[in-house]
């Protein structure tokens, strides 16, 4: 009698197992981030630019239900037809939706109902994995990357919400470590010049705004070997940087005057020391850690004060192509994401992670850009007006989500995200 050989999984089985594992990992992290929250914590909305945690949990689930289960899995019935109106974000092709500034009024459905909604959709997605792998694997990849974006937004929106609570609550306990005395003198690393390739070609996944790959000419330049620190920002403030109009763009100076801006967001002076609000409550500011929660206007004014400038997105990307996007301070698990001092390892520290780095580049389409057909074509292209590109990810970006070509974008006055800067100069 011939002995039965061990069965070796097929390539298709391995691929589907990997898809299921990745899906479960991403979806679980969202629930871990929300685990410390009460229903009230998860319902409130601190400003129109932010969204409640409940909405983030539901919207990302609506994305899978709408664009995959509804359109590609025969016989699927939506969890609740009415919720499409509540949790559509900005997809005109999907019809009317609840107004963004009023998301905090959605006291119903409850957090527990939305978690049940997530579980029901997850069960359907996992059961349909073979069909999804055959019919729409690119939509699954888009949905998972979309959820990772919302994980970062959930953290930054939650931080803004808790900052406005007079009880100064903490979401997670403080995690010591990573504090430094001084980041060391800033030095400069020459970047590549001449024709360089920008954008994505041949990647496993990229957002549409990273396409197509194209050539761009760079004049000789250099990037700072590290991010601007809190200590250097103290020097800028002490030198009356916020009171010197010649350092500021006209719109930025109007913003400073109108909003009475005198320090980064979440900073305060208390008992002769400066503190900053974190997801672990109020903490003393580490002078060696990267400065964060600054607007493009502030970043540009600091660069002018320092005798430098902001990098272009192409300069930053050309340098970053030689670095590991999995490196740096990024999000690995639920906890009080916070930029921290990194000892220098190679020639350029924190190129990825810690804080999103403002560039001087407008968020506009690349040559040859085309929107995708259907509702998912509304994902990025229609926002290419009036915003600036940020690069590199942050301490709240899930590790594995980032790459050199990644383009984040915000309006120049916005600073509730983990935004910072790295200086550049011409050679």
Tens digit of each residue's pLDDT, the chain (427 residues): 344 445 666 556 677 788 899 999 999 999 999 999 999 999 999 999 999 999 999 999 999 999 999 999 999 999 999 999 999 998 888 999 999 999 999 999 999 999 999 999 999 999 999 999 999 999 999 999 999 999 999 999 999 999 999 999 999 998 876 666 678 889 999 999 999 999 998 767 899 999 999 999 999 999 999 999 999 999 999 999 999 999 999 999 999 999 999 999 999 998 889 999 999 999 999 999 999 999 999 999 999 999 999 999 999 999 999 999 999 999 999 999 999 998 876 566 789 999 999 999 999 999 999 887 766 666 777 888 999 999 999 999 999 999 999 999 999 999 999 999 999 999 9
pLDDT at 8: 60
Token pair in block for residue 278: 């974190």
Predicted local confidence at residue 6, as pLDDT: 56
Is 425 strand, coil or helix? Answer: strand
Q: Can you give the pTM of this predicted structure?
A: 0.94
Distance CA 270, CA 223 (A): 35
Which SS3 state, helix, strand or coil, does residue 223 take?
Answer: strand
Residue 285: partners with Cβ closer than 8 Å, 6 or more residues away: 230, 267, 273, 274, 275, 276
Question: Any idea which residue has 């949990």 for tokens?
Answer: 57
Q: What Cα–Cα distance (Å) separates residue 104 from each residue in 38, 48, 89, 218?
A: 14, 9, 14, 46
User: Whole-angstrom Cα distance, residue 355 to residue 394?
Assistant: 4
**Other CB atoms within 10 A of residue 406 CB:** 23
Phi-psi region of 134 (alpha: psi -120 to 50; beta: other; left: phi over 0): alpha
| pLDDT at residue number 1 | 39
- Return the pLDDT at 2: 42
In the chain, what's the furthest Cα-to-Cα distance? 90
State both tokens at 384. 């290419």
pLDDT of residue 20: 92
Buried b (16+ CB within 10 A) or exposed e, 23-54: beebbebbeebbeebeeebbbbbbeebbbbbb
Backbone angles phi, psi at 19, to 5 degrees: -60, -45
- CB-count exposure of residue 77 (10 Å: 0-12, 13-18, 19+): exposed
- Of the candidates 70, 110, 115, 112, which has an alpha carbon nearest to the alpha carbon of residue 88? 70
Per DSSP, 2 falls in state P
Query: Which residue is associated with the tokens 């959820």?
Result: 147
Which CATH number applies to 188-426? Answer: 3.90.1580.10
């Amino acid at each position: 009698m011939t002995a039965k050989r061990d069965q070796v999984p097929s390539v298709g089985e391995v691929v589907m197992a990997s898809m299921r594992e990745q899906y479960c990992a991403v979806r679980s992290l969202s629930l871990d981030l929300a685990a410390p929250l009460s229903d009230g914590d998860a319902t409130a909305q601190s400003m129109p630019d932010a969204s409640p945690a409940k909405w983030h949990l539901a919207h990302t689930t609506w994305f899978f239900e709408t664009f995959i289960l509804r359109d590609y899995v025969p016989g699927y019935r939506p969890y609740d037809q009415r919720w499409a109106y509540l949790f559509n974000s900005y997809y005109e092709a999907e019809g009317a939706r609840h107004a963004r500034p009023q998301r905090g009024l959605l006291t119903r459905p409850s957090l527990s109902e939305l978690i049940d909604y997530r579980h029901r959709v997850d069960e359907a997605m996992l059961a349909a994995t073979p069909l999804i792998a055959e019919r729409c694997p690119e939509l699954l990849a888009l949905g998972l990357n979309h959820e990772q974006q919302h994980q970062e937004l959930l953290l930054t929106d939650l931080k803004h919400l808790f900052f406005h609570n007079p009880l100064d609550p903490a979401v997670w306990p403080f995690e010591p470590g990573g504090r430094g005395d001084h980041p060391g003198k800033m030095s400069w690393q020459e970047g590549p010049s001449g024709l360089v390739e920008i954008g994505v070609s041949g990647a496993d996944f990229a957002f549409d705004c990273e396409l197509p790959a194209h050539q761009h000419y760079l004049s000789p330049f250099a990037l700072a070997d590290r991010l601007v620190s809190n200590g250097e920002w103290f020097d800028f403030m002490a030198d009356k940087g916020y009171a010197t109009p010649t350092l500021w763009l006209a719109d930025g100076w109007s913003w400073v005057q109108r909003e009475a801006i005198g320090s980064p967001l979440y900073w305060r002076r208390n008992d002769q020391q400066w503190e900053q609000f974190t997801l672990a409550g109020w903490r003393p500011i580490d002078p060696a850690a990267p400065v964060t929660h600054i607007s493009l206007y502030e970043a540009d004014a600091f660069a002018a004060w320092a005798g430098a400038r902001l990098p272009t997105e192409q300069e930053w990307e050309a340098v970053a192509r030689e670095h590991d996007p999995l490196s740096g301070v990024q999000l690995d698990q639920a906890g009080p994401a916070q930029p921290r001092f990194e000892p220098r390892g190679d020639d350029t520290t924190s190129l990825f992670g810690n804080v999103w780095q403002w560039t001087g580049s407008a968020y506009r389409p690349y040559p040859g850009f085309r929107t995708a057909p259907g509702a998912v074509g509304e994902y990025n292209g229609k926002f290419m007006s009036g915003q600036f590109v940020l690069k590199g990810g942050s301490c709240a970006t899930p590790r594995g989500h980032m790459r050199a070509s990644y383009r984040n974008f915000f309006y120049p006055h916005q600073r509730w995200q983990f935004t910072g800067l790295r200086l550049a100069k011409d050679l």
